[in-house]
């Protein structure tokens, strides 16, 4: 399998992977994930059409214990793979890395220094890089950053209202989900250059959720800030919260930093509010009033963020829904769009129910779109550009 690009997205207990045929426009070949690393691992591999090629657990022993062993399991499932290049999703690129970067010892040291800014994500991203370097010595590797797309933010959107020395020390609004937003921006530009030159609010709604204002193809502002905790509520993350609440929990209730971290990252959001699940499908099907309340809060906050980001751009030409919830939940899309007529956003209920690419009502001054995001394909495109020494088309 020479002439193949390998893309890895390593999380705390999983590795998502996809292979692409190298060429001017990368073509997806196979992909899947190993989940449950360190607990009960399970590997699934599918072809480009979604057909299941491998489905393996390790009940008989020999389960991968870490990311390096999980990568060995992935490569065993992929067969005789010698990739031409390997691309990695890396959550944090810091304030300076505004484009994908070739990985060498110096770059690894820079990325290691950013671990305190993304302690729940960055170490696992780097573990995937090390595992690939050991397995494929000499094969070029590229780091693609979730923060890079947002480095075009103006200072006003980038800073907090703190003394300037904090900004200089890296306490600033970085923004995340940048690979998803970059893919959507390129996709819209290929479909409709005039629309892409205007003002988009993209709602990346999944287990992790955020929104981004994109004007002229460039990120102007994002709902996420210093960490991926900020902004709208998520599956298990709180989203924006009054800092005074955190001070109260520390001072009055004696919570430690570790306890706060567990609450805000894993015990809040849709799962924490509903007491049931972080899965929107489960909540939409539930008769429990807590489920309806959690969804109502979620869509309220998303709708509020749409208005804020439209204000930052001086208006809106299109609202784009993407990611697992945005692409698949007609109910969430309808609830978010309710009351956004003042922005010129009018939803067609039938088109929304059918999940069509354009769910705008006839005559809507601003469009409402559904687009599938593909972070792995975005990384493959960056790999293609790096190998060619120049940009490639989406």
Q: Say how far apart CA 362 and CA 385 lie, in whole Å.
A: 39
10 Å Cβ neighbour count for 28?
Answer: 18
At 137, phi and psi to the nearest 5? -60, 135
Q: In what order do the strands lie in the sheet with 199-205?
A: 218-222, 209-215, 199-205, 318-322, 367-370
10 Å Cβ neighbour count for 287?
Answer: 6
Distance of CA 38 to CAs 14, 68, 69, 255, 258, Å? 9, 11, 10, 28, 21
Q: Say how far apart CA 241 and CA 226 lie, in whole Å.
A: 13
How crowded is the C-beta side of 304, counted as CA atoms within 13 Å? 11
Annotated active-site residue 60? The verdict is: no
Dig out the tokens for 7 from the structure: 């893309």
Query: How do 42-47 and 199-205 pair as beta strands?
Result: unpaired
At 254, phi and psi to the nearest 5? 70, 20
Q: Say how far apart CA 365 and CA 354 lie, in whole Å.
A: 21
Dig out the tokens for 119 from the structure: 């302690």
Question: Active-site residue among 55, 96, 146, 192?
Answer: 146
| Neighbour-count burial of 380, counting CB atoms closer than 10 A to its CB (0-12 exposed, 13-18 middle, 19+ buried) | buried
Looking at the annotation, which residues are catalytic?
146
């Amino acid at each position: 399998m020479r002439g193949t690009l390998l893309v890895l997205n390593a999380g705390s207990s999983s590795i998502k992977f996809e292979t692409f045929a190298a060429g001017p426009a990368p073509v997806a070949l196979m992909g899947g994930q190993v989940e449950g690393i360190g607990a009960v691992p399970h590997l699934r591999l599918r072809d480009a059409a979604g057909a299941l090629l491998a489905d393996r657990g390790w009940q008989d022993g020999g389960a991968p214990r870490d990311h390096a062993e999980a990568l060995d399991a992935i490569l065993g499932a992929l067969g005789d793979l010698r990739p031409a290049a390997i691309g990695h999703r890396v959550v944090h690129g810091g304030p300076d890395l505004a484009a994908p970067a070739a990985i060498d010892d110096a770059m690894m040291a820079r990325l290691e220094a950013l671990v305190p800014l993304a302690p729940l994500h960055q170490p696992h991203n780097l573990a995937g890089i090390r595992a690939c370097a050991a397995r494929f010595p000499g094969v070029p590797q590229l780091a693609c950053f979730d923060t890079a797309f947002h480095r075009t933010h103006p200072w006003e959107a980038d800073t907090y209202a703190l003394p300037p020395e904090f900004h200089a020390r890296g306490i600033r609004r970085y923004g995340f989900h940048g690979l998803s937003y970059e893919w959507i921006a390129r996709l819209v530009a290929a479909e409709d250059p005039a629309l892409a030159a205007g003002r988009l609010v993209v709602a990346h709604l999944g287990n992790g959720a955020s929104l981004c204002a994109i004007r002229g193809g460039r990120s102007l502002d994002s709902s996420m800030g210093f960490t991926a905790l900020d902004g709208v509520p998520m599956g298990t993350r709180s989203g924006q919260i009054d800092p005074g609440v955190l001070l109260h929990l520390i001072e009055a209730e004696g919570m430690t930093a570790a306890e706060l971290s567990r609450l805000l990252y894993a015990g809040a959001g849709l799962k924490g509010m509903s007491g049931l699940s972080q899965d929107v499908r489960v909540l939409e099907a539930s008769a429990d009033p807590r489920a309806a309340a959690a969804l109502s809060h979620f869509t309220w906050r998303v709708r509020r963020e749409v208005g804020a980001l439209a204000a930052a751009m001086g208006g809106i030409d299109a609202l784009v829904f993407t990611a697992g919830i945005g692409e698949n939940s007609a109910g969430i899309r309808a609830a978010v769009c309710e009351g956004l007529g003042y922005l010129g956003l009018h939803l067609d209920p039938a088109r929304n129910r059918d999940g069509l690419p354009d769910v705008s009502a006839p005559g809507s001054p601003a469009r409402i779109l559904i687009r599938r995001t593909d972070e792995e394909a975005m990384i493959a495109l960056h790999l293609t550009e790096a190998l060619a020494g120049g940009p490639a088309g989406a």
